[in-house]
Structure 1
Amino acid sequence: MVATVSTPAFTFAGKGVPLACPSLQTHGLCIGKCSLPSVNNAHQKNNAIICSNSKIRTIISPTSVRAIATEDGQLASAESDQKITKYHFLVANAKFMLDEEEHFQELMSERLRMYGERNKEVDFWLVIEPKFLDKFPNITKRLRRPAVALISTNDTWIKFMKLRLDRVLEGEIEAETAEEAFASNPAELQFEKPENWTAPYPKYEYGWWKRFLPPQMDK
């Protein structure tokens, strides 16, 4: 855990003189005046003073003080960093992805069944007209709308699906929340039924993809 606090410039008088800086209080542990090691226990690097003792390592620069717990973990982060998640995606027009590519429904259903048997948390979803496409003009200019994206945190599986589906475009995004990654624009999907269905099995029912939509978005 790292605690960083901005502070004005500091000065010191020479060896053996404690560093003067505003007190910092993190989980009851003061690392300000009187608790920082003296300068003769420090060395200078990249225009900063680096001090250390058995409990903490303190990096002091003219603009900030950083304290890092090294043994007992008493120091906690002053600001918890937001976790960034990388999502990999394949995107194509909805007609192809949901109505024409028969293998896609089978592959999705089989993977969902396998996850259920192994009690594994689902890490793949379908997003209809995802908003993140606005960040990819090179993709959208090649894409008929409405579009559908297959999103997963599993890069290896997405590459496998790219080979199976072929006529899809690939990319990746980073998001702080699932809501950000799954955000979508309203879209109405309408697929015409083929006049002549020659396959020896019935065509998949309209709406088969709803169970693969992100939570709260399958209505």
Structure 2
Amino acid sequence: MLGSKGVSVGSLGSCIVNVPTHKPTLSLPLLASPNNSIVKPCIGNSWKLRTPMKTAVAAVDSSQPAEKQETERKTYYFLVANAKFMLDEEEHFQEQLFERLRLYEERNKEQDFWLVIEPKFLDKLPNITKRLKRPAVALVSTNRPWITFMKLRLDRVLQENYEADSVEEALACTSISLEFEKPEKWVAPYPKYDSGWWTPFLPPGSKV
């Protein structure tokens, strides 16, 4: 005890109660940098730059090299018979072909029918060739309905189809010369076909 005005240690100790022992923390706002990264201010004059977390993704090109597409095979439809019947005997066959050719020219439509003399595709069709007299001529087209229509008109012909990778392959033929004897008497009301009338309907590049 320190006298009547003194303060005892015990009484002083009893006054120091519930005194905080830790420093208060200051909550500061987070700031955004120009590049959108997060800036966290720290106590003092120093600043710490926190970059956004990036997920590592392997740069994998999922696209596969384009595979070379196979040439699309096209179907060709045809009627075939021996050359004598198709080019020299069948009535109105010449007119029908020229009329169709004229129609295509008026409509600026690409020709899709041809006369193929001794076509090479017959080598792959033994069921057809065994029924044919040679030389043979085929009326070939990519237009199936029209070939069916012509089958009804010509009647005594064989009808079938085949596939080819190109027009050149589809219309390949063997070069031969065709000559038909003129009959002694011609009684039909229309003039006799002139030899070679079929030339405009031959495939491009044909040498017959």
The answer to whether the superposition gives a TM-score over 0.5 is yes
The 1-side partners of 2:148 and 2:207 are apart by: 25
3-state secondary structure, aligned to 2:137: strand
TM-score, reference length from structure 1: 0.65
The 1-side partners of 2:117 and 2:190 are apart by: 27
Residue 43 of structure 1 corresponds to none
Q: Which runs of 4+ in 1 moved over 4 A?
A: none
Residue 93 of structure 1 corresponds to 82
CA deviation after TM superposition for structure 1 residue 187, in Å: 2.0
CA deviation after TM superposition for structure 1 residue 188, in Å: 2.2
The 2-side partners of 1:174 and 1:152 are apart by: 12
The 2-side partners of 1:92 and 1:136 are apart by: 14
TM-score, reference length from structure 2: 0.68
CA deviation after TM superposition for structure 1 residue 142, in Å: 0.6
- For residues 165-209 of structure 1, what are the alpha-carbon distances to aligned partners after superposition, in whole Å with 9 as ceiling and x for unaligned? 000001111111111111111222121111110122321210000
Give the alignment's Cα RMSD to 1 decimal.
Answer: 1.9
The 2-side partners of 1:185 and 1:121 are apart by: 25
- For residues 20-69 of structure 1, what are the alpha-carbon distances to aligned partners after superposition, in whole Å with 9 as ceiling and x for unaligned? xxxxxxxxxxxxx7426xxxxxxxxxxxxxxxxxxx6x7xxxxxxxx4xx
Identify the match of residue 35 of structure 1 among 36, 52, 60.
Answer: 60
The 2-side partners of 1:165 and 1:77 are apart by: 48
3-state secondary structure, aligned to 1:89: strand
User: AA paired with 2:192?
Assistant: K
Residue 22 of structure 1 corresponds to none
Residue 189 of structure 2 corresponds to 200
Which ranges of structure 2 fall in alignment gaps of 5 or more residues? 1-56
Which ranges of structure 1 fall in alignment gaps of 5 or more residues? 1-17, 19-32, 37-55, 59-66, 68-75
CA deviation after TM superposition for structure 1 residue 83, in Å: 2.0
Which structure: larger Rg?
Answer: 2
Q: Which deviates more, 207-216 or 183-192?
A: 183-192
**Paired positions, count:** 152
Structure number with the higher strand fraction is: 1
User: Which of 1 and 2 has higher RCO (CA within 8 Å, sep 6+)?
Assistant: 2
Identify the match of residue 110 of structure 1 among 94, 99, 103.
Answer: 99
CA deviation after TM superposition for structure 1 residue 218, in Å: 5.4
The 1-side partners of 2:117 and 2:128 are apart by: 15
Residue 167 of structure 1 corresponds to 156
